[in-house]
Chain A
Amino acid sequence: MSQLQPAFGLAKRSATTGALPPAKAETPVAKMIDVSKCIGCKACQVACMEWNDLRQDIEENVGVYENPHDLTPNAWTLMRFAEWENPERGQLEWLIRKDGCMHCQDPGCLKACPAPGAIVQYSNGIVDFISANCIGCGYCVKGCPFNIPRISTADNKAYKCTLCSDRVAVGQGPACAKACPTKAITFGTKDDMKKLAAERVADLKDRGYSKAGLYDPPGVQGTHVMYVLHHLDKAPLYAGLPQNPRISPLVELWKGAGKYAGLALLGVTAAFGVVHHLLAGANRVTHEDEENAEKLRGGGA
């Protein structure tokens, strides 16, 4: 599928050295998930599976509402449920978060990916997996600060939310946003979504959530999937949403400096051999050596 190789117009492309031809700057888009409007109905999950023709195996109940129990290659989004007794309000809160790819502006998956063009970032910010180029190594899983991609055991490809790039490409919003009964999920330009979020945050503050805010983490240069949270200061309450996500330093080391240092070390080692050989010449066995050996045998015999 080498026709899936064009690097033109893309903002970022995995495992591609050298600068991409400058993309025409397109309007960044974003999906805004207003957790304070979300009722955890899973319409997004069903709409996602329906649109993308995914049918996950039917699991058992294991004492929780998360079904499937985790993201899978066939479940690209998942409602995660957390119960928290808010000491300030004296009320139980059932914090429900739609988990899935955050479409980071600085995507760790893309950084980690070794297969050219298997992960791309369009100029509107959407991070997409191009299955035809994917080799199924799972590096994206390690690169992701949100633990999102999953590798299919059926075809050994990595899968995650595409932000419905197929729908967005024809001017429609993602299937989840379309379905969302309470409009907790909205989709539009990132600027519009930020404005809408500001409106929502003001409303939440009016209702006593003084720490309400927009989750658009700077550690990954912002995301194209954002959350309005009642408790922005306590992101981990929402089923372990990282407070300050960033690409793991280990991944940075691995795919950044490490990559060059490694190649350099190998180069230096090889160069040492060449230089040494030039200077020292071959280490040859001499005639005397052979004679000495013969002598030794004779003596020994």
Chain B
Amino acid sequence: MSQHRGEAPLQVPRYSGSARINHWVVAISFVLLMISGLALFHPSLYWLTGLFGGGPTARWLHPWLGVVLVIGFLGLFLRFFVANLPERTDWVWLARLRHVLAGREEYLPEVGKYNAGQKFVFWAQAFLVLVMFVTGIGLWPVGLAYFEQLLGFKATIDQRRLAAVIHAGAAVLTIAIWIIHVYAAIWVRGTISAMTRGTVTGGWAWRHHRKWLRKEIGKEPGGPQPAE
């Protein structure tokens, strides 16, 4: 509908192949962690362990999935943290959140590669992954033993209890943010192709990340190239 007659719309590369693989590794491990974690979080969800072949497997797999996620997330972090550094316009954007929610982007400042909301998701998840990792170690006998030996300390039972509470709290937050992340990708139509095909349409970029679009177009004489 938003296309020229018979002509494909302009495609702007947004994510390279390796970035997309990286993202999906994190995404899949996140989902599996979420399912196995929730299964152990509340009895009413314990049946979810069935997806892993039972409770012991879910319990066994969960921390190792965590390790996968942490490594994967580190990759994402290194790729994207520069683009997620806060800018002055982010505050303006946030102040006009009302318009964001209403989809009235004409009232918003031009946005770079990421808007303030995306940056929030990025930094919040980075922080929560770190928290989940540290507290998760405290709940994981094998990992704890390894780190205790490595670092020469002994976690007290109270520290481990605190770790459990924080891990659970952080998990809730991270899942909530994940819900926002997923919803935003659905709500803002045309987004998902960035992580599937690696490109977005020019219109999408114009509408949501105009500053980024300008930069991408201005960068190369031959037109936009995939960038991260």
Contacts and interface: CB of A to CB of B under 8 A. Distances in A.
Direct contact of A and B (CB under 8 A): yes
Contacts of B179: 266, 269-270, 273
B190 A250 contact: no
Given A151-B141, A258-B169, A250 B59 contact: no
Contact of A248 (B1, B49, B158, B186): B158
A157 B162 CA distance: 22
B189 A297 contact: no
Contacts of B103: 280-281, 283
Interface of A is mostly: helix
Interface string A231-273: 0000000000000000010110110001101110110011001
A277 B182 CA distance: 13
A7 to B, nearest CB: 12
Chain A contact patch, size range: 35 or more
Contacts of B157: 141-142, 147
Given A139-B164, A283-B187, A290-B3, A296 B41 contact: no
Nearest to B176: A269
Interface in B167-209: 168-169, 171-173, 175-176, 179-180, 183, 186-190, 201-207
Contacts of B82: none
A257 B11 CA distance: 49
Contacts of A248: 158, 161
Interface stretch (B17-25, B72-80, B120-128, B211-219): B211-219
Contact of B190 (A253, A285, A301): A285
B217 A286 contact: no
Contacts of B201: 285, 290, 293
Interface of B is mostly: helix
Contact of B139 (A138, A253, A276, A292): A138
Contact of A254 (B2, B49, B164): B164
Given A147-B157, A283-B188, A285-B189, A297 B168 contact: no
B223 A282 contact: no
A6 interface: no
A254 B187 contact: no
A58 to B, nearest CB: 21
Contacts of B214: 296, 300
B172 A115 contact: no
Given A254-B165, A286-B2, A297-B202, 4 more contacts: A114-B46, A284-B2, A284-B189, A290-B9
B60 interface: yes
29 contacts: A135-B49, A141-B157, A142-B164, A153-B141, A156-B59, A248-B161, A250-B161, A262-B171, A265-B173, A266-B176, A273-B187, A276-B187, A277-B186, A280-B103, A282-B189, A283-B103, A287-B203, A289-B206, A290-B3, A293-B9, A293-B206, A293-B213, A294-B202, A296-B213, A297-B217, A297-B224, A300-B214, A300-B218, A301-B223
Interface of A: 15-17, 112, 114-116, 133-139, 141-142, 147, 151, 153, 156, 248, 250-251, 253-254, 258-259, 261-263, 265-266, 269-270, 273, 276-277, 280-294, 296-297, 300-301
CB-CB nearest 5 A-B residue pairs:
A293-B202, A290-B203, A289-B203, A135-B55, A273-B183
A253 B43 CA distance: 16
B101 interface: yes
B60 A289 contact: no
